[in-house]
Protein backbone atom coordinates (compact mmCIF):
# COMPACT_ATOMS: atom_id res chain seq x y z
CA UNK A 1 0.00 0.00 0.00
CA UNK A 2 0.95 3.64 -0.31
CA UNK A 3 0.80 6.24 2.47
CA UNK A 4 -2.08 8.69 2.58
CA UNK A 5 -1.07 12.01 0.95
CA UNK A 6 1.10 14.27 3.08
CA UNK A 7 3.00 17.51 2.74
CA UNK A 8 6.75 17.08 3.10
CA UNK A 9 8.79 19.72 4.99
CA UNK A 10 12.57 19.86 5.13
CA UNK A 11 13.68 22.37 7.77
CA UNK A 12 17.36 23.27 8.14
CA UNK A 13 17.33 24.21 11.82
CA UNK A 14 15.78 22.97 15.06
CA UNK A 15 13.88 26.25 15.36
CA UNK A 16 12.30 25.78 11.90
CA UNK A 17 11.38 22.17 12.71
CA UNK A 18 9.76 23.18 15.99
CA UNK A 19 7.86 26.02 14.30
CA UNK A 20 6.42 23.53 11.77
CA UNK A 21 5.40 21.13 14.55
CA UNK A 22 3.72 23.96 16.46
CA UNK A 23 1.97 25.26 13.34
CA UNK A 24 0.49 21.90 12.33
CA UNK A 25 -0.12 20.40 15.80
CA UNK A 26 -1.13 16.75 15.85
CA UNK A 27 -1.40 16.74 12.01
CA UNK A 28 2.43 16.80 11.90
CA UNK A 29 5.05 14.17 12.73
CA UNK A 30 8.86 14.31 12.77
CA UNK A 31 10.54 11.95 10.29
CA UNK A 32 14.01 10.68 11.24
CA UNK A 33 15.33 7.40 9.75
CA UNK A 34 11.83 6.40 8.68
CA UNK A 35 12.41 2.76 9.63
CA UNK A 36 9.37 2.64 11.90
CA UNK A 37 7.31 5.61 10.72
CA UNK A 38 7.39 4.92 6.96
CA UNK A 39 6.16 1.30 7.21
CA UNK A 40 3.38 2.47 9.53
CA UNK A 41 2.36 5.17 7.03
CA UNK A 42 2.61 2.76 4.09
CA UNK A 43 0.40 0.23 5.85
CA UNK A 44 -1.94 3.07 6.80
CA UNK A 45 -1.64 2.17 10.48
CA UNK A 46 -1.22 5.90 10.96
CA UNK A 47 -1.48 9.04 8.81
CA UNK A 48 -0.22 12.60 9.12
CA UNK A 49 -0.92 15.54 6.82
CA UNK A 50 2.60 16.94 7.41
CA UNK A 51 5.94 15.17 7.77
CA UNK A 52 8.80 17.24 9.19
CA UNK A 53 12.02 15.64 7.98
CA UNK A 54 14.84 16.07 10.51
CA UNK A 55 17.58 14.80 8.21
CA UNK A 56 18.47 18.27 6.92
CA UNK A 57 18.98 19.65 10.43
CA UNK A 58 22.76 19.34 10.69
CA UNK A 59 22.86 20.35 14.35
CA UNK A 60 21.01 17.16 15.34
CA UNK A 61 23.62 14.72 14.02
CA UNK A 62 26.89 13.58 15.53
CA UNK A 63 28.66 12.19 18.55
CA UNK A 64 30.71 14.32 20.91
CA UNK A 65 32.82 13.07 23.81
CA UNK A 66 32.58 15.58 26.65
CA UNK A 67 34.09 15.31 30.14
CA UNK A 68 32.55 12.16 31.69
CA UNK A 69 29.69 12.03 29.17
CA UNK A 70 28.93 11.11 25.58
CA UNK A 71 26.57 13.47 23.75
CA UNK A 72 24.73 11.82 20.86
CA UNK A 73 22.65 13.98 18.53
CA UNK A 74 19.23 12.51 17.87
CA UNK A 75 19.66 11.89 14.12
CA UNK A 76 22.93 10.04 14.60
CA UNK A 77 22.49 6.72 12.77
CA UNK A 78 22.34 3.54 14.79
CA UNK A 79 25.19 2.21 12.63
CA UNK A 80 27.50 4.86 14.11
CA UNK A 81 27.10 3.30 17.56
CA UNK A 82 28.34 0.04 16.12
CA UNK A 83 31.32 1.38 14.18
CA UNK A 84 32.61 4.44 16.04
CA UNK A 85 35.64 3.68 18.22
CA UNK A 86 34.88 6.66 20.47
CA UNK A 87 31.43 5.25 21.28
CA UNK A 88 32.82 1.77 21.98
CA UNK A 89 35.47 3.15 24.36
CA UNK A 90 33.19 5.63 26.14
CA UNK A 91 29.93 3.67 26.47
CA UNK A 92 30.61 0.02 25.59
CA UNK A 93 26.98 -0.98 26.16
CA UNK A 94 25.84 1.16 23.21
CA UNK A 95 28.33 -0.53 20.90
CA UNK A 96 27.22 -3.96 22.11
CA UNK A 97 23.51 -3.16 21.72
CA UNK A 98 23.54 -1.68 18.22
CA UNK A 99 24.26 -4.85 16.20
CA UNK A 100 21.09 -6.41 17.64
CA UNK A 101 18.86 -3.72 16.05
CA UNK A 102 17.20 -5.17 12.95
CA UNK A 103 19.58 -5.56 10.00
CA UNK A 104 22.48 -3.32 8.93
CA UNK A 105 20.33 -1.71 6.23
CA UNK A 106 17.94 -0.59 8.98
CA UNK A 107 20.78 0.64 11.19
CA UNK A 108 22.24 2.63 8.26
CA UNK A 109 19.06 4.75 8.22
CA UNK A 110 17.55 4.31 11.69
CA UNK A 111 18.54 6.95 14.20
CA UNK A 112 19.29 6.94 17.92
CA UNK A 113 16.60 9.55 18.59
CA UNK A 114 14.06 7.72 16.44
CA UNK A 115 14.53 4.52 18.39
CA UNK A 116 14.17 6.33 21.73
CA UNK A 117 11.16 8.41 20.62
CA UNK A 118 9.43 5.39 19.08
CA UNK A 119 9.73 3.63 22.48
CA UNK A 120 9.11 0.08 21.40
CA UNK A 121 9.37 -1.96 24.63
CA UNK A 122 11.37 -4.64 22.78
CA UNK A 123 13.97 -2.11 21.54
CA UNK A 124 17.56 -2.24 22.66
CA UNK A 125 18.46 1.47 22.88
CA UNK A 126 15.69 2.50 25.31
CA UNK A 127 16.89 -0.30 27.64
CA UNK A 128 20.49 0.91 27.38
CA UNK A 129 19.35 4.46 28.16
CA UNK A 130 17.43 3.27 31.24
CA UNK A 131 20.27 0.98 32.40
CA UNK A 132 22.84 3.77 32.27
CA UNK A 133 20.66 6.63 33.55
CA UNK A 134 21.00 8.54 30.28
CA UNK A 135 19.63 12.07 30.06
CA UNK A 136 17.34 12.80 27.13
CA UNK A 137 17.43 16.35 25.85
CA UNK A 138 14.04 17.70 24.74
CA UNK A 139 14.75 21.27 23.71
CA UNK A 140 15.11 23.28 26.90
CA UNK A 141 14.27 20.42 29.25
CA UNK A 142 16.22 17.31 30.13
CA UNK A 143 14.39 14.12 31.06
CA UNK A 144 15.95 11.18 32.88
CA UNK A 145 15.52 8.07 30.72
CA UNK A 146 13.71 6.30 33.59
CA UNK A 147 10.99 9.01 33.42
CA UNK A 148 10.82 9.26 29.61
CA UNK A 149 9.21 5.92 28.72
CA UNK A 150 5.63 5.77 29.94
CA UNK A 151 4.21 2.76 28.07
CA UNK A 152 4.27 0.84 24.80
CA UNK A 153 5.27 3.35 22.05
CA UNK A 154 4.58 6.16 24.54
CA UNK A 155 6.89 8.76 26.03
CA UNK A 156 6.63 12.13 27.74
CA UNK A 157 7.32 13.90 24.40
CA UNK A 158 4.55 16.30 23.39
CA UNK A 159 3.41 16.63 19.75
CA UNK A 160 5.31 19.89 19.35
CA UNK A 161 8.56 18.72 20.97
CA UNK A 162 11.72 17.18 19.55
CA UNK A 163 14.20 14.86 21.16
CA UNK A 164 17.41 16.64 20.27
CA UNK A 165 20.06 14.47 21.97
CA UNK A 166 20.78 11.65 24.37
CA UNK A 167 23.60 12.03 26.89
CA UNK A 168 25.21 8.91 28.34
CA UNK A 169 27.57 8.79 31.35
CA UNK A 170 31.11 7.56 30.69
CA UNK A 171 32.22 5.04 33.32
CA UNK A 172 35.86 4.78 34.31
CA UNK A 173 38.01 1.71 35.00
CA UNK A 174 37.64 -1.83 33.69
CA UNK A 175 34.18 -1.51 32.08
CA UNK A 176 32.54 -4.53 30.43
CA UNK A 177 29.21 -4.77 28.64
CA UNK A 178 27.00 -7.41 27.09
CA UNK A 179 23.64 -7.60 25.38
CA UNK A 180 21.90 -10.94 24.96
CA UNK A 181 18.47 -11.53 23.49
CA UNK A 182 16.31 -14.19 21.93
CA UNK A 183 14.38 -13.41 18.74
CA UNK A 184 12.44 -15.76 16.50
CA UNK A 185 14.61 -14.85 13.48
CA UNK A 186 17.85 -12.94 13.08
CA UNK A 187 16.95 -9.22 12.89
CA UNK A 188 13.52 -9.56 14.48
CA UNK A 189 12.57 -7.62 17.58
CA UNK A 190 13.55 -9.55 20.73
CA UNK A 191 11.12 -11.77 22.62
CA UNK A 192 13.21 -10.80 25.64
CA UNK A 193 16.62 -9.25 26.11
CA UNK A 194 19.10 -8.01 28.68
CA UNK A 195 21.54 -5.09 28.53
CA UNK A 196 24.24 -5.18 31.21
CA UNK A 197 27.27 -3.01 31.93
CA UNK A 198 29.61 -3.54 34.88
CA UNK A 199 32.85 -2.11 36.12
CA UNK A 200 35.26 -4.58 37.66
CA UNK A 201 37.77 -3.73 40.36
CA UNK A 202 40.27 -6.26 41.65
CA UNK A 203 38.27 -9.13 40.14
CA UNK A 204 34.95 -8.08 41.70
CA UNK A 205 31.98 -6.26 40.23
CA UNK A 206 32.11 -2.78 41.76
CA UNK A 207 29.26 -1.21 39.80
CA UNK A 208 26.43 -2.70 37.77
CA UNK A 209 23.68 -1.53 35.43
CA UNK A 210 21.06 -4.05 34.30
CA UNK A 211 17.98 -3.39 32.15
CA UNK A 212 15.57 -5.75 30.42
CA UNK A 213 13.59 -5.30 27.22
CA UNK A 214 10.64 -7.15 25.72
CA UNK A 215 9.41 -8.06 29.18
CA UNK A 216 7.06 -5.20 30.03
CA UNK A 217 5.48 -2.15 28.43
CA UNK A 218 8.64 -0.11 29.09
CA UNK A 219 12.30 -1.02 29.60
CA UNK A 220 12.80 -2.42 33.11
CA UNK A 221 15.71 -1.45 35.32
CA UNK A 222 16.68 -4.29 37.68
CA UNK A 223 18.03 -2.37 40.68
CA UNK A 224 17.78 -5.23 43.20
CA UNK A 225 19.62 -7.52 40.81
CA UNK A 226 22.35 -4.89 40.38
CA UNK A 227 22.79 -4.71 44.18
CA UNK A 228 22.88 -8.51 44.46
CA UNK A 229 25.55 -8.69 41.75
CA UNK A 230 27.73 -6.14 43.53
CA UNK A 231 27.18 -8.05 46.81
CA UNK A 232 28.60 -11.18 45.17
CA UNK A 233 25.42 -13.28 44.86
CA UNK A 234 25.48 -16.16 42.35
CA UNK A 235 24.74 -15.25 38.74
CA UNK A 236 21.68 -17.53 38.76
CA UNK A 237 20.33 -15.73 41.84
CA UNK A 238 20.95 -12.33 40.22
CA UNK A 239 19.14 -13.47 37.05
CA UNK A 240 16.15 -14.73 39.03
CA UNK A 241 15.99 -11.43 40.89
CA UNK A 242 16.15 -9.43 37.64
CA UNK A 243 12.89 -10.94 36.32
CA UNK A 244 11.12 -11.20 39.68
CA UNK A 245 8.86 -8.19 39.19
CA UNK A 246 8.37 -8.07 35.40
CA UNK A 247 4.86 -8.59 34.01
CA UNK A 248 5.16 -9.79 30.40
CA UNK A 249 1.91 -10.32 28.53
CA UNK A 250 0.91 -13.30 26.43
CA UNK A 251 0.88 -12.47 22.72
CA UNK A 252 1.10 -14.24 19.36
CA UNK A 253 4.89 -14.57 19.68
CA UNK A 254 5.20 -16.05 23.20
CA UNK A 255 3.39 -16.44 26.48
CA UNK A 256 4.30 -14.22 29.39
CA UNK A 257 5.71 -17.25 31.22
CA UNK A 258 7.98 -18.06 28.26
CA UNK A 259 9.21 -14.50 28.09
CA UNK A 260 10.00 -14.52 31.80
CA UNK A 261 12.03 -17.76 31.45
CA UNK A 262 13.85 -16.37 28.40
CA UNK A 263 14.48 -13.16 30.35
CA UNK A 264 16.20 -15.00 33.20
CA UNK A 265 18.27 -16.99 30.69
CA UNK A 266 19.49 -13.96 28.73
CA UNK A 267 20.37 -12.10 31.93
CA UNK A 268 22.44 -15.07 33.09
CA UNK A 269 24.19 -15.33 29.70
CA UNK A 270 25.04 -11.64 29.72
CA UNK A 271 26.29 -11.90 33.31
CA UNK A 272 28.49 -14.86 32.39
CA UNK A 273 29.99 -12.80 29.58
CA UNK A 274 30.75 -9.69 31.64
CA UNK A 275 31.88 -11.62 34.73
CA UNK A 276 33.99 -14.04 32.71
CA UNK A 277 32.19 -17.06 34.20
C1 LIG B 1 12.50 -5.10 9.74
C2 LIG B 1 12.77 -4.18 10.91
C3 LIG B 1 13.37 -4.71 12.05
C4 LIG B 1 13.62 -3.87 13.14
N5 LIG B 1 14.21 -4.42 14.25
C6 LIG B 1 14.45 -3.64 15.30
C7 LIG B 1 15.06 -4.18 16.48
O8 LIG B 1 15.40 -5.36 16.56
N9 LIG B 1 15.29 -3.33 17.52
C10 LIG B 1 14.95 -2.00 17.46
O11 LIG B 1 15.16 -1.29 18.42
N12 LIG B 1 14.39 -1.48 16.36
C13 LIG B 1 14.13 -2.26 15.30
N14 LIG B 1 13.56 -1.70 14.19
C15 LIG B 1 13.17 -0.26 14.21
C16 LIG B 1 14.35 0.63 13.85
O17 LIG B 1 15.36 0.56 14.84
C18 LIG B 1 13.94 2.11 13.73
O19 LIG B 1 15.02 2.72 13.16
C20 LIG B 1 13.58 2.85 14.98
O21 LIG B 1 12.56 2.22 15.71
C22 LIG B 1 13.05 4.25 14.65
O23 LIG B 1 14.10 5.06 14.28
P24 LIG B 1 13.99 5.95 12.98
O25 LIG B 1 15.12 6.90 13.03
O26 LIG B 1 13.87 5.06 11.81
O27 LIG B 1 12.64 6.78 13.28
P28 LIG B 1 11.36 7.07 12.40
O29 LIG B 1 10.81 5.81 11.86
O30 LIG B 1 11.64 8.16 11.44
O31 LIG B 1 10.41 7.64 13.55
C32 LIG B 1 9.91 6.80 14.55
C33 LIG B 1 9.03 7.62 15.51
O34 LIG B 1 9.85 8.48 16.29
C35 LIG B 1 9.49 9.87 16.08
N36 LIG B 1 10.75 10.60 16.09
C37 LIG B 1 11.87 10.31 15.40
N38 LIG B 1 12.86 11.15 15.73
C39 LIG B 1 12.34 12.01 16.64
C40 LIG B 1 12.88 13.11 17.36
N41 LIG B 1 14.17 13.48 17.22
N42 LIG B 1 12.08 13.77 18.23
C43 LIG B 1 10.77 13.40 18.38
N44 LIG B 1 10.22 12.36 17.73
C45 LIG B 1 10.99 11.67 16.87
C46 LIG B 1 8.77 9.87 14.75
O47 LIG B 1 7.89 10.97 14.66
C48 LIG B 1 8.04 8.55 14.79
O49 LIG B 1 6.89 8.64 15.59
C50 LIG B 1 13.29 -2.49 13.08
C51 LIG B 1 12.72 -1.96 11.92
C52 LIG B 1 12.45 -2.79 10.84
C53 LIG B 1 11.84 -2.19 9.60
pLDDT digits (tens, 9 = 90+) for 226-273: 999 999 999 999 999 999 999 898 989 999 999 999 999 999 999 999
Rounded to whole angstroms, the Cα distance separating 264 from 210 reads 12
Domain edges within the chain: 7-53, 60-169, 174-275
From atom 39 of ligand 1, which residue's Cα is the shortest distance away?
114
Task: Give Dmax over CA atoms of the chain in angstroms.
Answer: 61
Query: For residue 136, what pLDDT is reported?
Result: 98
- Beta-bridged to residue 96, according to DSSP, are none
For residues 277 and 118, the model is more confident at 118
CATH of the structural domain 174-275, one choice from 3.30.390.50, 3.20.20.140, 3.90.1300.10, 3.40.50.2300: 3.30.390.50
Query: Cα torsion at 222, 134, 178, 122 (round to 10°)?
Result: 70
Fold of 60-169: 3.30.465
Fold of 7-53: 3.30.43
Buried b (16+ CB within 10 A) or exposed e, 195-219: bbbbbbeeeebebbbbbbbbbbbbb
From atom 11 of ligand 1, which residue's Cα is the shortest distance away?
123
Alpha-helical (H) ranges within the chain are 14-24, 37-42, 78-83, 85-90, 92-97, 104-109, 112-118, 124-131, 145-148, 223-230, 235-242, 256-275
pLDDT tens digits, one per residue of 230-242: 999 999 999 999 9
| Ligand 1 binding pocket mutation candidate from 32, 59, 126 (most atoms within 8 A of CB) | 32
Compute the average pLDDT of residues 176-188.
Answer: 94
Ligand 1 pocket list (CB less than 6 A): 29-37, 39, 54, 74, 101-102, 106, 110-111, 113-115, 117-118, 120, 123-124, 157, 162-163, 187, 189
Atom of ligand 1 nearest to the CA of 75: 41
Query: For residue 277, what pLDDT is reported?
Result: 53
**Total-model pTM:** 0.97
Q: How confident is the model at residue 1 (pLDDT cuts 50, 70, 90)?
A: confident
Mean pLDDT for the chain overall: 96
From atom 28 of ligand 1, which residue's Cα is the shortest distance away?
34
pLDDT tens digits, one per residue of 47-105: 999 999 999 999 999 999 999 999 999 999 999 999 999 999 999 999 999 999 999 99
Amino acid sequence: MKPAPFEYHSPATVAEALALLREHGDDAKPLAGGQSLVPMLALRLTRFAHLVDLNGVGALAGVELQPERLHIGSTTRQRVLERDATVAAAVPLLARAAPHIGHFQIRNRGTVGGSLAHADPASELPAVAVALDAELVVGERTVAARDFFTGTWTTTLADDELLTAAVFPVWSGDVRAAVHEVARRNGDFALAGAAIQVSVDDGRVARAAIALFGLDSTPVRALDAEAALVAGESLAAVAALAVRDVEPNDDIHATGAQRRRIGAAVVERALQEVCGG
